[in-house]
């Protein structure tokens, strides 16, 4: 080893996506708690590198353009091998990272030094997921992907933590990192004494998008100002903002933001985040805010559910859930496509939000604490 056992040089692979990167950052929490003198390097896709760019726990962040091809990855592996790491944590477990491991082993065969003494790979729990998708609620709990903890827990354990370590992106909230625009948005929304809600109405996957009409109706019943998050390319964001403004609610269109510090600051200033099953759920919890997370074809037991005890999960009890990680395997067609999402009611969502806010909930409104969702 090139370093003492309490100050190793550690390489972490986790290239994508936003939610997975945030959840896997629990490994940083674990390492810094157990081995505060460790030197940590992280390899991440350039698409998502900005979420970790200012993380003080990372000594070096390497961005990789995933479209640059095999030879670019080979050149990166050659550079990484020359860094002489003591440990490698593969939190991605992909073809790229498998190639990196083989490359390291091959180079070590013709070198006078030993390859990293520990190369740990985070399992993708494929068989557990497959069984859950096939047998649904009949699949035993001890065989589900989140048995023993979700992705954040498993990443922390692999890094030597206790499993209680959680993602912490509070560095995004440090003074001066939030833009002037974020401060203006908060000021606009702060007129109501009860605060405001942050809402993420979109998703990269159609199977994760709850009805915009029902979402707008639910927010109208709650009567709080709303910060609509997302991107300018998300039609759901524009549609929701238009509907809410038509009801007279105070709304800011924060979906123009591509700055994670800006988004994190806005979420942190809100009462909670109401969102589909997207990466922003994990960003919100990592900066200390509870969430109300809406599930359709996916399920918290896949290991990507909200983890804060004050957060809430809303999901239907349809027998065919879950069908996949993104809803693409839904067998229904026509008007019944993603029926599990259609079955989510406004009463459930409003009740969950009010419960997190500590307000009285109406009769019949049902929601489940995070990590406890049942079919």
pLDDT digits (tens, 9 = 90+) for 119-155: 999 999 999 999 999 999 999 999 999 999 999 999 9
In a domain, 250, yes or no: yes
Q: Are residues 140 and 64 in the same domain?
A: yes
Q: Which of 168, 194, 216 is the C-terminal boundary of a domain?
A: 168
Q: What is the pLDDT of residue 1?
A: 42
Could you tell me what percent of the chain has a pLDDT over 90?
85
Number of domains within the chain: 2
Provide the mean pLDDT of the chain: 92
What is this structure's pTM?
0.93
**CATH number of the domain residue 134 falls in:** 3.40.50
Q: Are strands 368-369 and 312-315 parallel, antiparallel or unpaired?
A: antiparallel
Q: Are residues 152 and 192 in the same domain?
A: no
Lowest mean pLDDT among 26-40, 48-62, 144-158, 180-194: 180-194
Q: What is the pLDDT of residue 130?
A: 97
Which residues, including other chains, have CB under 8 Å from residue 67's CB and lie 6 or more apart?
A: none
Could you tell me what percent of the chain has a pLDDT over 70?
93
Q: What is the pLDDT of residue 178?
A: 66
d(CA 174, CA 353): 27
Q: What is the pLDDT of residue 360?
A: 87
d(CA 126, CA 321): 17
Q: Are residues 76 and 161 in the same domain?
A: yes
pLDDT tops 50 at residue 375 = no
Range of the domain at 215: 175-369
Q: What is the pLDDT of residue 361?
A: 78
Q: Are residues 236 and 345 in the same domain?
A: yes
In a domain, 3, yes or no: no
């Amino acid at each position: 080893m090139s370093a003492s056992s309490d100050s190793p040089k550690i390489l972490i692979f986790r290239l994508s996506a936003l939610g997975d990167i945030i959840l896997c950052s629990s490994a940083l929490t674990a390492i810094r708690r157990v081995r505060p003198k460790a030197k940590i390097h992280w390899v991440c896709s350039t698409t998502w590198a900005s979420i970790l760019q200012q993380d003080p726990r990372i000594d070096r962040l390497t961005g990789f353009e995933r479209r640059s091809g095999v030879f670019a990855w080979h050149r990166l592996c050659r550079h990484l091998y020359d860094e002489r790491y003591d440990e490698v944590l593969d939190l991605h477990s992909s073809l790229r990272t498998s190639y990196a491991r083989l490359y390291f082993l091959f180079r070590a065969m013709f070198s006078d030094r030993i390859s990293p003494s520990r190369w740990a790979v985070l399992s993708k729990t494929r068989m557990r997921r497959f069984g859950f998708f096939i047998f649904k609620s009949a699949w035993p709990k001890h065989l589900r992907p989140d048995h023993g903890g979700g992705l954040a827990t498993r990443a922390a354990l692999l890094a030597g933590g206790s499993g209680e370590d959680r993602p912490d992106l509070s560095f995004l909230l440090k003074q001066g990192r939030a833009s002037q625009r974020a401060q203006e948005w908060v000021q606009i929304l702060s007129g109501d004494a009860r605060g405001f809600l942050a809402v993420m109405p979109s998703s990269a996957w159609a199977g994760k998008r709850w009805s915009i009409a029902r979402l707008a109706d639910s927010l109208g019943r709650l009567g709080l100002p709303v910060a609509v998050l997302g991107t300018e390319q998300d039609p759901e964001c524009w549609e929701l903002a238009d509907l809410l403004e038509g009801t007279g609610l105070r709304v800011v269109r924060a979906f123009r933001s591509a700055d994670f510090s800006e988004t994190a600051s806005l979420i942190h200033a809100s009462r909670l985040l109401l969102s589909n099953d997207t990466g922003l759920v994990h960003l919100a919890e990592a900066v200390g805010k509870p969430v109300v997370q809406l599930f359709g074809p996916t399920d918290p037991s896949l290991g990507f559910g909200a983890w804060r005890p004050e957060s809430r999960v809303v999901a239907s009890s349809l027998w065919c859930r879950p069908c996949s990680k993104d809803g693409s395997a839904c067998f229904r067609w026509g008007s019944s496509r993603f029926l599990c999402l259609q079955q989510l009611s406004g009463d459930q969502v409003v009740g969950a939000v009010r419960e997190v806010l500590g307000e009285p909930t109406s009769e019949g409104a049902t929601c489940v604490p995070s990590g406890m969702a049942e079919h």
